[in-house]
Structure 1
Amino acid sequence: MTDLFFGLVATWGLIIIGLSAYFSCLAVPVPTFAVMLAGGAFAAAGDLILWQVVCVAYLAAVAGDQTGFQLGRMGGRWLDAQLATRPSRAALFARAADVVDRWGGIGVFFSTWAAAPLGPWVNFAAGAARLNRWRFTLWDAAGEAIWVSGYVSLGFLFGTRLDALTDLVASWGGFATAACVALAAGIGLLRHGRHRKEH
């Protein structure tokens, strides 16, 4: 599937980069990290312009997060339908709601880049929890800056080995997500233990 998206980036350039970044923030299963890497690689080859790749990806990602936040705030039948179709989605939303409840804006920040698979659901959960929009936007914008610049830069610097880089980043991304979830769970357990001791 990543080869298909590499071809689409080669043909359609910034349009595919923007659409991929936007829809991935709405839980559409798109290999956006591979698209970002490809965008950086094509910029290094002179087929795209680096600052345009970064700007399009960044603005599209922030717009996608804002859309997810708004959909979560609206909630209702749309969100219920999304959660009812697959139990895995309900589980992801429950985890995301816990992240927002425990960490607020900081949880939003880390979900955009350190735990990216959870990110779209954090957007929905933040909206549903009525997190302050400006707080959400500031933390989200900071996190997306790391996510976009990190992947595009990797593609730009190591684009000649794009296939190997994609495999490596995919493996690393899963490890990073698991590590962040484990760290958050550990901190939560420590806080819970201290709270019990105090009472």
Structure 2
Amino acid sequence: MTEYFFALVASWGLVIVALSAYFSCLAVPVPTSAVMLAGGAFAAAGDMVLWQVCAAAYIAALAGDQTGFQLGRLGGNWLNARVETMPRRAALYARAKDAVDQWGGTAVFFSTWAVAPLGPWVNFAAGAAGLGVWRFTILDALGEAIWVSIYVALGYSFASNLDALASLLADWGVLLTAVVIAVAAAIGLMKLGKNRG
């Protein structure tokens, strides 16, 4: 599947970079990290312009996050009912709601890059929870800058070994997500212990 998206980036360029970044922020299963790696690699080869790849991915990701946030704000009850019919998505949304309830804007920041699979659900949950628009926007913008910079820069730097890098980063992303969740759980348990003690 990754090779298919590499081919799409080769054919359609910035359009695919932007569309994949936008729709991945709305929980559409698109391998956006691989697309950004490809964009960076094509920039290294001179087929695309590096700043344009970064700008397309960044602006589209911000737009996708804002769309998800506004959907949560305007349709929180509808979203809850819709997600309940899909058990796997319901579990992700429940984790996102817990993260937003416990961590607020910090959950938004880390969900954009460190716990990216939870990101779209955090956008919905933050909107439904009534998180402030400016707080969401600022923390989201900072997190997305990290996410886009890492993947495009890695694609640019390791263009000759892109397939190996994409598979390594997929494993690394799972590990990073697990570590962040474990640290958050440990902090939560320590707080709970202090409150009871």
Q: Is the pair's TM-score, using the shorter chain for normalization, greater than 0.5?
A: yes
How many Å separate the matches in 1 of 2:164 and 2:78? Answer: 39
Q: Is the 8 A contact 1:73 1:129 kept in 2?
A: yes
**Aligned position for 2:183:** 183
Offset of residue 45 of structure 1: 0.2
How many Å separate the matches in 1 of 2:76 and 2:148? Answer: 31
Runs of 4+ aligned residues of structure 1 deviating over 6 Å after TM superposition are: none
Q: Is the 8 A contact 2:73 2:129 kept in 1?
A: yes
Percent identity between matched residues is 69
Distance 1:69 1:31, change over 3 A: same
- TM-score normalised by length of structure 1: 0.97
Offset of residue 85 of structure 1: 3.0
Which has the larger displacement, 90-99 or 120-129?
90-99
**Aligned position for 1:103:** 103
**Aligned position for 2:138:** 138
One-letter code aligned to 1:101: D
Alignment size in residue pairs = 197
CA deviation vs aligned residue, 1:176-199 (integer Å, no higher than 9, x gap) = 0011011100000000000001xx
One-letter code aligned to 2:66: Q
CA deviation vs aligned residue, 1:86-133 (integer Å, no higher than 9, x gap) = 111111111001111111111100000000000000000000000000
Which has the larger displacement, 186-195 or 78-87?
78-87
Q: Is the 8 A contact 1:82 1:89 kept in 2?
A: no
One-letter code aligned to 2:195: H
- TM-score normalised by length of structure 2: 0.98
Alignment gaps of 5+ in structure 2: none
Offset of residue 74 of structure 1: 1.2
Superposed CA RMSD: 0.9
**Aligned position for 1:52:** 52
How many Å separate the matches in 1 of 2:54 and 2:87? Answer: 35
